[in-house]
Amino acid sequence: MAVKIRFTRIGKKHAPVYRIVAVDSRKRRDGEYLENLGTYNPLTREIVQWHEERINDWVSKGAIPTDAVKRLQKIKRKAAVVVEAVPAKPKAVKKEAATPEKESAKKTPAKKAVVKKDAKASDKE
């Protein structure tokens, strides 16, 4: 039995999501599989689940990953290297205090509107 690690499609029409599975190469694309090894969403290009240990275990037993799965492995490795290379720094959050200039700017238009109404009322008299 030749085992392959490949995609099986799940999801709706025009919204694909793929499961990464170990499957007998003679089975249908969406047929019965041996083990679920992860999930990939191609619309967001996000690897939702990834069971690296299980994938490596299947490869050591002789399973052959397809080109698409190899590409995902490469992306996952690069992402892991980038995360290790760049340590996360806490971001400083700046809070802007309300300045008197901003408050007076907000009140000024309201006063002008009141003055204009009073001017119109005096014109009518």
pTM comes to 0.61
d(CA 95, CA 64) in angstroms, rounded, equals 54
pLDDT digits (tens, 9 = 90+) for 12-33: 999 999 999 999 999 998 888 9
Q: Identify the pLDDT of residue 113.
A: 55
Domains of the chain: 3-85 (3.30.1320.10)
State residue 123's pLDDT score. Answer: 58
CA distance 11 to 15: 6
CA 53, chain centre distance (Å): 23
- As to burial, measured by CB atoms within 10 angstroms (0-12 exposed, 13-18 middle, 19+ buried), residue 32 is exposed
Residue 63 phi, psi (nearest 5): -70, 145
One-letter identity of residue 7? F
